[in-house]
Amino acid sequence: MIASSCLIAGSEAPRSTPRNQGNAMQGKIRTIAALCTLTVLGSARAAKPDDGSQLRAQVTHSYPSLRYVERYRHDFPDEVQGQAFWSAEHAAPALPDANALTRALAALQDQHVALVGAKAGKSETLGMLFRTASDGSVIVWRVFDTNAGNVHVTEGDQVLAIDGQDAHAWMQHAATLTFGGQRRGRYAEAATELGLATPVVHRVAGLGNAVALRVQDAKGQTKAVTLHYKPVDAGLAKSMTAAINRAALPQHFKANGLRIGTLRIGAFAPQYDDAFVAAADAASKQPGASDDTAMLAGYCTVVRNVIREADTAARDADVLVLDLRGNLGGFDREAWLLADALGAKSSLSTLDLFAGSKPGTVQLAEEHTDPGCGHVATHAPLVVLTDAGTRSAGEFMASWLWASGATVVGERTVGAGGGFEFNGEPGTPLPGSGYAARLSGNFSVFDPAGTLGEGAHDEAALVDMLARDHFAPSRTHPFAIQSVGLRPDFALSSTLADLRDGGRSSLAKVLVQLKAKHQL
């Protein structure tokens, strides 16, 4: 489901690709109504709608459930951003530029929102990614382009200042201009977007074509570097995917006699996996092969490779830790097949929630699932490690595994529980600013007990059901992660030391405690 998959692909949008749309070859399974325009009848002709009215119309007619958004904003007042511009109680906002549009759209509390179009530009990168800790620290997390500027920056360096401003203060401001449902997740997203986003995102954050950083290494030595943005091409995308997938924890280690095995998944980007490409290409040459069977052959090759890694990591281990921290999402078709392979039981039913055809209703459609590609042979207790940077398909995988009995440790995930491929192409650029707004076309609903059916549902009743227990996940009734994220069973805040050592010491302490309490 990727800001990442598409950011990885070097495109400005979309950020999410639902698994029943694993590739453009499979086509769209549903297209939500395109941008609706408002007209004001005059004595002679209709007046041209302003940007605020036009955006309000787009959201009112196409967004999956504004009642869900309003309920979340009511239940989490400390997380609220912006004013509910879609409400008829307020005048439609003036939206003359990208900054105003960003501040308005932030009110949707939705990470899957973007400004797109020619003015927004395509993805650009500093050749590195950043991560934040719960205490506000920022580090250089992954360097994947070792050009002349980046050779002076080392993974693990702490970022002290950004363009001459204290890094923590810069992040605080940038987070207010970043889409998402919760503050901690917006910090994580702002850190990601510092290293990788579209030009309009960087302009809104106050960045130019280059960024001046002051960094400090683990020995306390400081240095100043200036890094330049460059377009993301296929080579950089592949290098970045490999960097994201690189493990931060040893495959095996011990803590107080507890034997721990680990497995890392940083993104679901099979287009940059040579094994996927080779298998899909070979399958496509078989008589009668379709695009979809070729895709599935590629996915299954990836899944079987991960199964082998998981069995190796879990062999002779008391617990297997799946590290999804900083997972940038991607194709959730792959995420589902991997969850099915690693989980103790079949993944739970998942439905997509769309805007209804009548006021006060929403539409549910069950997501397509593929036959499994195999299953792990070694069944050590599974712990899923998440942080505020775990998003989209990464959150889906964590949710599916949690529902099958895994224990989730770490931070609440970012809350990107929808996707905007379902909208098809974004609407016509707004006449004033020239930007188009791309929005989630659906929210996903997890249904552990299979209580929901396809078709029209009363919106208020369904939102009340999803909002039970303060939007808590449940293994007995439907729940959603949109905006709220997946809550861990055991909260584990991250520190600068955790970012630098992969969190090994903190994780080990938690696992020892869980074992002592018989919670594994």
**What's the pLDDT at 23?**
33
**Cα–Cα distance between 149 and 518 in angstroms, integer?**
50
Report yes or no: 480 and 445 within 8 Å, Cβ to Cβ: yes
Which residue range forms the structural domain that includes residue 55? 51-116
**Cα–Cα distance between 308 and 292 in angstroms, integer?**
24
- Could you give the residue ranges of the DSSP H alpha helices within 176-269? 183-195, 199-204, 234-245
Report yes or no: 507 and 492 within 8 Å, Cβ to Cβ: yes
**Rounded to the nearest 5 degrees, what angle is found at the Cα of 333, between the Cα atoms of 347 and 250?**
80
Tell me the per-residue pLDDT of 56-81, one tens digit each, with 9 for 90 and over: 999 999 999 999 999 999 999 999 99
**Cα–Cα distance between 116 and 85 in angstroms, integer?**
20
**What's the pLDDT at 185?**
95
78 shares its domain with 184: no
151 shares its domain with 107: no
Does residue 12 form part of some domain?
no
pTM: 0.90
Report yes or no: 490 and 402 within 8 Å, Cβ to Cβ: no
**What's the pLDDT at 108?**
97
461 shares its domain with 383: yes
309 shares its domain with 164: no
166 shares its domain with 196: yes
Report yes or no: 351 and 366 within 8 Å, Cβ to Cβ: yes
Domain boundary among 212, 234, 256: 234
CATH number, domain with residue 251: 3.90.226.10
154 shares its domain with 256: no
Which one, of 57, 53, 59, lies nearest residue 93 by Cα? 53
**Cα–Cα distance between 488 and 34 in angstroms, integer?**
37
Helix and strand numbers (H, E) in the chain are: 16, 22
Could you tell me which residues come within 8 angstroms of residue 306 by beta carbon, excluding any fewer than 6 positions away? 263, 265, 338, 341, 342
143 shares its domain with 291: no
Does residue 172 form part of some domain?
yes
Compute how many other C-beta atoms are within 10 angstroms of the C-beta atom of residue 41.
Answer: 8
Q: Is the peptide bond before 359 cis (omega within 30 degrees of 0)?
A: no
Report yes or no: 418 and 110 within 8 Å, Cβ to Cβ: yes
**What's the pLDDT at 135?**
87
Compute how many other C-beta atoms are within 10 angstroms of the C-beta atom of residue 39.
Answer: 11
286 shares its domain with 368: yes
**What's the pLDDT at 24?**
30
407 shares its domain with 462: yes
259 shares its domain with 223: no
**Cα–Cα distance between 52 and 473 in angstroms, integer?**
35
Q: Indicate the number of domains in the chain.
A: 3
Sites in the chain below the pLDDT cut of 50: 1-47, 422-424
Q: What is the DSSP string of 149-167?
A: TGGG--TTPEEEEETTEEH
Specify the DSSP element, H or E, that contains 515.
Answer: helix 504-516
192 shares its domain with 248: no
3-state per-residue secondary structure call for 329-393: CEEHHHHHHHHHHHCCCCCCEEEEEEECCCCCEEEEEECCCCCCCCCCCCCCCEEEEECCCCCCH
3-state per-residue secondary structure call for 48-70: CCCHHHHHHHHHHHHCCCHHHHH
Does residue 18 form part of some domain?
no
Report yes or no: 506 and 424 within 8 Å, Cβ to Cβ: no
458: which strand partners?
361
Domain boundary among 67, 85, 116: 116
Domain boundary among 96, 116, 136: 116
169 shares its domain with 273: no
**Cα–Cα distance between 232 and 8 in angstroms, integer?**
8
Report yes or no: 81 and 130 within 8 Å, Cβ to Cβ: no
Could you tell me which residues come within 8 angstroms of residue 447 by beta carbon, excluding any fewer than 6 positions away? 348, 349, 350, 351, 478
Can you state the angle between helices 332-342 and 291-314, rounded to 10 degrees? 40
DSSP state of 24: G
CATH number, domain with residue 146: 2.30.42.10
**Cα–Cα distance between 387 and 410 in angstroms, integer?**
6
